[in-house]
């Protein structure tokens, strides 16, 4: 961040002042950022474990920190997230036959990074 601000033409005193402020406000903590992004990806975006890993990697989180953050993620949590995602989508599929609903929901969940076993359990819980 120091290099980027320097390349943009900011004065070194201003850069130092801003960095001190950000450190005191605890806004430069990668662990806090990773946990916030993890929460966002599971609660708002309804991503599976592979989807969360890709989301965190795209945001520049190091692999070891991703592994540490994902250690708290259980299959039960992933299944709950998958069920919420299904509930959100199933309203638009109300008039479709069951096999079409199942196929579309399976594809959507797979693209979001859920494993086949989690998808299968979630679809069984909604009777598809």
Domain ranges for the chain: 2-70, 75-125
The whole-number pLDDT of residue 102 equals: 96
HEC profile of 70-91 = HCCCCHHHHHHHHHHHHHHHHH
DSSP state of 27: -
Q: What's the rounded mean pLDDT across residues 54-72?
A: 94
CB 111 within 8 A of CB 48: no
DSSP state of 96: S
* Report field, pTM of the whole predicted structure over 0.75: yes
Identify the band that residue 61 occupies on the pLDDT scale cut at 50, 70 and 90.
Answer: very high
pLDDT, tens digit (0-9, with 9 covering 90-100), for 30-52: 899 999 999 999 999 999 999 99
């Amino acid at each position: 961040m120091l290099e980027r601000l320097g390349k943009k033409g900011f004065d070194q005193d201003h850069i130092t002042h801003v960095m001190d402020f950000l450190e005191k406000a605890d806004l430069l903590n990668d662990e806090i950022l990773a946990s916030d992004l993890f929460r966002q990806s599971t609660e708002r975006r309804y991503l599976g474990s592979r989807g969360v890993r890709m989301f965190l990697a795209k945001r520049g989180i190091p692999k070891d920190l991703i592994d540490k953050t994902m250690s708290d993620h259980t299959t039960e949590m992933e299944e709950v997230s998958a069920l919420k995602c299904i509930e959100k989508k199933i309203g638009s599929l109300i008039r479709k036959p069951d096999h079409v609903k199942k196929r579309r929901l399976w594809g959507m969940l797979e693209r979001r990074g859920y494993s086949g076993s989690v998808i299968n359990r979630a679809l069984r819980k909604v009777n598809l």
